[in-house]
Chain A
Amino acid sequence: SQQGEEDPQALSIQEGENATMNCSYKTSINNLQWYRQNSGRGLVHLILIRSNEREKHSGRLRVTLDTSKKSSSLLITASRAADTASYFCATDASGNEKLTFGTGTRLTIIP
């Protein structure tokens, strides 16, 4: 079963613009992670935010977490064609580091 749902399901923007994706989840969590998946490939870990953190940055990525709303957002600034991929949030609900993934957002960057 999927713990999270990403919104929107698909997003197309012009290169250079910012992309924002949202994730909602159902149960309390220990941490939330974001992954990227290029077509037909495995997933790549992008960033992890713990339940007691509200915001985290890594390069062009900014992640926020609102545990009261059970939601997270991933912002990619100054998008590039290479950012074209599917993005998934994943939650560690039990603290035992087993992840449950969301349904993903398909991001397309238009050159």
Chain B
Amino acid sequence: DTGVSQNPRHKITKRGQNVTFRCDPISEHNRLYWYRQTLGQGPEFLTYFQNEAQLEKSRLLSDRFSAERPKGSFSTLEIQRTEQGDSAMYLCASSLKGAGKGHGYTFGSGTRLTVV
């Protein structure tokens, strides 16, 4: 297992376009998290899944944002009608609920989105 994989690493899009990011977690991890990080700030929680169920969504996740985790494996985060304020690093992390409490999250390298 090579860890958490995120694609693409970088995405430049024009305002108003839709974008989709993918995250492949560690295979045995049942928890998957999405965070957003802007320059000089800490990661801000967006949403998380346990298996295929989306358990919580942040108020930051407007109706332009949607996340899925079909079959409890990989996850996608889609942003519709992108705005310049959506420019940020989008981070995915996974963990094993309960058994992994001593190990924290495993993060991917992130997808950097630039909206022009």
Using a CB–CB distance below 8 Å, which chain A residues touch chain B? Answer: 1-2, 4, 31, 33, 35, 40-45, 48, 88, 97-104
Contact = CB atoms under 8 A, between A and B. Distances in A.
Nearest to B92: A42
Contacts of A42: 4, 6, 91, 93, 107-110
Contacts of A35: 104-105, 107
Interface residues of B, number: 29
6 contacts: A35-B105, A40-B89, A40-B112, A42-B6, A42-B108, A104-B41
B109 A41 contact: yes
Interface string B4-37: 1010000000000000000000000001010100
- Highest count of chain B CB atoms <10 Å: which of A42, A99, A102: A42
Interface of B: 4, 6, 31, 33, 35, 40-45, 48, 56, 89, 91, 93, 95, 97, 101-110, 112
Contacts, number: 63
A4 B107 CA distance: 19
Task: Please name the 6 residue pairs, one residue from A and one from B, whose CB atoms are nearest each other, closest first.
Answer: A45-B104, A42-B107, A101-B42, A43-B107, A42-B109, A101-B43
B103 to A, nearest CB: 7
Nearest to A2: B42
A33 B104 CA distance: 7
Contacts of A1: 44
Contacts of B105: 35, 43, 45, 99
Contacts of B112: 40
A2 B44 contact: yes
A97 B33 CA distance: 11
B21 to A, nearest CB: 13
B55 to A, nearest CB: 8
Contact of B56 (A33, A43, A44, A98): A98
Given A43-B91, A43-B105, A45-B104, A98 B110 contact: no
Contacts of B48: 98
